[in-house]
Structure 1
Amino acid sequence: MIDFLEEVYKRKDDIIADIEKLCRIPSVLDEATANEGQPFGAACKEALDAMLEIGERDGFVCENVDGYAGHIDIGDEEAAFGILGHLDVVPCNKEGWNTDPYEVTIKNGKLYGRGVADDKGPLIAGYYAAKIIHELDLPVKMKTRIIFGCNEENGSKCMKYYFAKKPYPAMGFTPDAEFPVVYGEKAGVNFQITGEIERGNIIGIYSGTRSNIVPEVCEVYIEGNYKQYKDSFHQYLATHHLKGSVEEEGNHTKLTLVGKSAHASTPEQGINATTAMCHYLITVSENKLVQFIDECFYQDHYGEKLGIAYTGLMGPLTVNLGVLNYKNGHVSMIVDMRVPHEVNDEQLTKPIQAHLDGYGLLESHELGKALYIDPQSDLVQSLHSAYVEFTGDHTHQPQAIGGGTYAKSMPNCVAFGVEFPGTDNKIHQNNEEIAIEDLLKATAIYAKAIYNLIKK
């Protein structure tokens, strides 16, 4: 009987070294350096090249698909099993990291750094799982195609382009979520809200850079001397157990509030700095935008105030006010929602537009697609069986989540790991981490699961 975990541990140092190589690259979307062959910027291109170099080093056939994505073929069979991972990462906050986010730090049995858990570390885990099967010369009926893109965090344009050029594998998974296996994913939608609202004493409000992250910092520029806000703002921060600052900015004041970032699919795990700030601002301003945000979003992660709350088979609809830019009276905001598959477009649009009409705001959006794979399918059951074999966990069963992954990019594909139940890898947060033991165990689970599905 093959001891996949033992085989993984033999390659521990190589696995960590390859993760370190990828995580040194700050592969955040950079439209300023986007060009032919690097549609998502220079750093994403560098990460793509680095992953291809790993496959070439190990003697596998590799292909770069116009800088959007690439693949490594392990084996030469006609049919393919797909492992889909992404090389792009979300930005890092300027403050809050205890280590250099782009230099992997090993401490207390964990790897720390942007991408170690989302998704460079898990991608390498999937790669080594397939590589082990190949190196053991096990009889298989499919090759494993490791597919990696550079735009998962900003709409997955990479996979749309890739699969317009390349065929779908017969089945597959993406190591970009949680264990156990994920058979359902809510539909994603971004509401782009714009308009003009008289600014009153608010000069500007700025928060968030990505709609799929709960904004951690909100900055406000407001008319008046800082002394008229100092006491009330500090009292508000203390009452709500928040951090922030009041600064003199010439003849006006800058207020900064620090919340807690989290993934937009689980907004209840964060503290939205924007909505928390607006809850203070309603006490010192009559600005209508501040009122709108406080009335419709403050301490509401499930759309109850907007009139769109719904809980389906995949769980509740979730809402995250992810990005806000308000300057010279112009409003630009993005609201991220994760929507159960039972909810249609009209159920969202009518209640939301009714609220927007009251403030003269407009919206545009496109409801994405949900994912549902039969929990009793061979794919789901085989993956889950491998998970149970290495964990002994019969309590946690196949699940549905709010996060959107590459699994929606192709038929017969699901999300599978890498985060174990009861752990928090701080994905999209400061000090992203993964336990080395968890990473290696996941690699063994992947090897076993892949082999179960592709063996002759």
Structure 2
Amino acid sequence: MARKYQKQIEGYTEEFLRDLKNLVGVRSHRDLSTAGDKAPFGAGIAEAFQMLKERALEMGFQVQEEDGYAMDIRTGDAHPYIGILCHIDTVEAIEEEKWNSDPYTLTEREGVLYGRGVNDDKGPLLANLYAIKILTEAKKLKYPIRLIVGGAEETTWECMEYYFARHPQPLWAYSPDGDFPIVNGEKGILMVDLCFPGEGSNASREISIDHTSEEGFTLEALRVSGRLLSTTEEFIGKRAMSRHPDRGVSPLKDFMAWFDQEKLDAVLPEESVVLKLCRAAEILFDSEQDLLGLQAEDPEMGNSSLALTGFKGDSNEAHLSIDIRYTRAQSPEKMLENLTTLAEGFGGEVRVKKDRKLLYQEKDSRLIATLKDAYESVTGDATEVLTKGGASYARTLDHGVAFGPTFPGETANSHLENERLSLRSIQCAMEIWIQSLEILTEAKSE
């Protein structure tokens, strides 16, 4: 295994940990109640940007700010350039009591770093900043490097829209916001609500459905109550991230079985919004027929997925929320058309919450060949490209992939309690990134 820059990486480890401690200490989740001039996503994210800017200037880099939406840290102004796309915002650590230590205090236990953002994405961001520092100290670069940092990756992504409306695309780029070895495929994301207006006047005959859910996760529980029932019924599943619904258990199956057993479809009036909700769900989650074309398999990208993320209704209105991660075998326009037809058939409508195009870079591209060589040189492991259901900034790029930081077999707990990052792993990742950048900044333009 070739560790050309191990000494330099170890020499900067203390500074890296100091900077990571400071950045983790900033609660940089979206908070529009504190938004203002040059702080469109809130004071916390603006504070994190300012901290990063000051550190980058201290290290001798140029900094280009984009009105609080994004910034880039660059080695020069020339074009073309090599890009690294990271984000400084995080999800909020809402259930702090589930953490083994304060999520906003960087903590090291047995060589593992804990804290909100250590893996997603503050740790990789700073590791790449130091990777650029080490490389520029070692040699003169043919192409400049830009570390492009966004402030709304966990939410709207308008940060990258803002940046690339004002700057050209990089020649090649990667986003260290995924997994190793190389993520060349990210499934498309289509999140929608099917909304059904209620009849209102039949409230006394109606039942109500409520749910336990959290953004980014599958539905965890359903509760049914109302005058038609003698007691409140509850159906418990197991939540999972909505991009991995197979890792959880949906309560919908048990609820639908109970609904049929109680023969509620014969009791509820045809105009019942809850009845419409249940009938729409039957069609949506009929895996045998898949009448809406929501489930498909791609030879390179694997299977699509369909997750139920919301299911509630009473006599006034009902909502059914789904998260589709689709492959090249599907058309988002056609799926949306089919969903609209379904909703309108029950007097409802479709509201799109998120629509992000998929990422797919061919395996034989020069970018992937370069990253593959660097990864194998450092780790000694064979490289296979991956397709994931998650999203990174790589899908905003013309020529980009997700590349690290999580190695095979590691559990990062991003978005969950006890988010973690192995110190040894991030040092190895830094070596991989430095060697990749070394080749990319010397390569001839395609």
TM-score normalized by the length of structure 2: 0.84
Change (3 A) 1:141 1:346: closer
Contact 2:192 2:322 in 1 (8 A): yes
Determine the C-alpha separation between the residues in 2 that align with 1:108 and 1:305: 51
2:164 and 2:28 map into 1 onto residues whose CA distance is 22
- For residues 155-199 of structure 1, give each alpha carbon's deviation from its aligned partner in whole angstroms, at most 9, with x where no partner exists: 311000011112222211100111111222222222232222467
| Aligned twin of 2:127 | 125
Cα 1:454–1:160 shift into 2, 3 Å? same
Corresponding residue SS for 2:412: coil
Kindly provide the CA deviation profile for residues 42-76 of structure 1, in whole angstroms up to 9, marking residues without a partner as x: 22212222221221221211122011001111356
| Aligned position for 2:368 | 380
* Cα-to-partner distance string for 1:216-260 (whole Å, 9 max, x where unaligned): 755758448x9945xx75xx65xxxx6xxxxxxxxxxxxxxxx33
CA change 1:185–1:384 in 2 (3 A) is: same
Q: Aligned residue for 1:7?
A: 8
Instruction: Tell me which residue corresponds to 2:169.
Output: 168
Partner Cα separation in structure 2 for residue 36 and residue 281 of structure 1: 53
Give the CA RMSD over aligned residues. 3.2
Tell me if 1:344 matches 2:331.
yes
Partner of 2:207: 201
SS of alignment partner, residue 421 of structure 1: coil
Report the CA distance shift for 1:41/1:261 in structure 2 as closer, same or farther (over 3 A).
farther
Using a 3 Å threshold, how does the CA distance of structure 1 residues 119 and 216 change in structure 2: closer, same or farther?
A: farther
Instruction: Compute the displacement of 1:86 (Å).
Output: 0.8
1:8-33 deviation digits (Å, cap 9, x = unpaired): 12222222222222222222222222
Displacement of 1:436 after TM fit? Answer: 1.4
CA distance in 2, matches of 1:122, 1:383: 16
The residue aligned with 1:308 is 294
- How far does residue 304 in structure 1 lie from its aligned partner after superposition? 4.5
Unaligned 5+ segments in structure 2 are 265-273
State the match for 1:39 in structure 2: 40
Superposed structure 1 runs of 4+ greater than 6 Å apart:
297-300
- Asked if 2 retains the 8 angstrom alpha-carbon contact of 1:261 and 1:429, the reply is no
Cα distance, 1:206 vs structure 2: 5.1
Letter in 2 for 1:372: Y
Q: Is the 8 A contact 1:275 1:298 kept in 2?
A: no
Counterparts of 1:31-180 in structure 2, within 5 Å, are 31-75=32-76, 77-94=78-95, 96-136=98-138, 138-180=139-181
Indicate how the Cα distance of structure 1 residues 206 and 14 shifts in structure 2: closer, same or farther if over 3 A, else same.
same
Identical amino acids, percent of aligned pairs = 28
Query: What amino acid maps onto 1:391 in structure 2?
Result: T
User: Which letter does structure 2 place at the counterpart of 1:309?
Assistant: Q
CA distance in 1, matches of 2:226, 2:24: 43
Of stretches 86-95 and 112-121 in structure 1, the one that deviates more from structure 2 is 86-95
Letter of the 1:41 partner, please give it.
Answer: G
Residues 1:280 and 1:36: Cα distance change in structure 2 (over 3 Å): farther
Cα distance, 1:354 vs structure 2: 4.7
Cα distance change on mapping 1:182 and 1:144 into 2, 3 Å: same
* Superposition deviation, residue 296 in structure 1: 5.6
Distance 1:167 1:20, change over 3 A: same
Letter of the aligned partner of 2:207 in structure 1? N
Asked if the contact 2:197/2:348 (under 8 Å) is kept, the reply is yes
Aligned residue identity for 1:370: L
Q: Secondary structure at the match of 1:356?
A: helix
From 385, 393, 412, the counterpart of 1:425:
412
Task: Report if the CA contact (8 A) 1:207-1:219 is conserved.
Answer: no
Are 1:214 and 2:217 an aligned pair?
yes
CA drift of 1:334 comes to 3.8
Q: Which moved more, 1:275-284 or 1:420-429?
A: 275-284
In structure 2, relative to structure 1, the CA distance for the partners of 1:2 and 1:201 (3 Å cut) is closer
Structure 2 SS opposite 1:429: coil
More divergent stretch after superposition (143-152 vs 51-60): 51-60
Letter in 1 for 2:401: V
Corresponding residue to 1:288 among 272, 275, 287: 275
> Paired residue for 2:392?
405
Q: Partners of 2:374 and 2:230 in 1: how far apart?
A: 62
CA spacing shift, 1:361–1:103, aligned 2, 3 Å: farther
Structure 2 CA distance for aligned equivalents of residues 35 and 284 of structure 1: 54
Report how far residue 328 of structure 1 moved: 6.4
Alignment of 1:382-397 (within 5 A): 382-394=370-382, 396-397=383-384
Q: Does 1:360 align with 2:347?
A: yes
Q: Which residue does the alignment assign to 1:254?
A: none
Partner of 1:148: helix, strand, or coil? Answer: strand
SS at match of 1:319: strand
Gaps (5+ residues) in structure 1?
243-258
Task: Answer yes or no: is the 8 Å Cα contact 1:82–1:144 preserved in 2.
Answer: yes
Equivalent-residue separation in structure 2 for 1:63 and 1:303 (angstroms): 52
Residues 286-317 of structure 1, C-alpha deviations (whole Å, 9 max, x = no match): 543663576367797x9958552101131111
CA distance in 1, matches of 2:107, 2:328: 40
Q: What residue in structure 1 maps to residue 270 of structure 2?
A: none
Q: Structure 1 CA distance, aligned partners of 2:28 and 2:222? A: 26
Report the 3-state secondary structure (helix = DSSP H, G, I; strand = E; otherwise coil) of the residue aligned with 1:146: strand
AA of the residue aligned to 1:201: I
For 1:270-281, what aligned pairs fall within 5 Å after superposition?
270-271=248-249, 275=252, 278=255
After superposition, the Cα gap between the structure-2 partners of 1:308 and 1:78, relative to the gap in structure 1 and judged at 3 Å, is closer
Q: What is the alpha-carbon distance in structure 2 between the residues aligned to residue 276 and residue 99 of structure 1? A: 37
Which of 219, 239, 255 is residue 260 of structure 1 equivalent to? 239
The residue matched to 1:265 in structure 2 has which SS?
coil
1:97 deviation in Å?
2.7
Letter in 1 for 2:370: S
What secondary structure, in the 3-state scheme, does the structure 2 residue paired with 1:168 have?
Answer: coil
CA deviation digits over 1:122-155, x for unaligned, max 9?
Answer: 111211111110122x131012111100111223
Answer yes or no: is the 8 Å Cα contact 1:110–1:434 preserved in 2.
yes
**1:433, CA displacement in angstroms?**
1.3
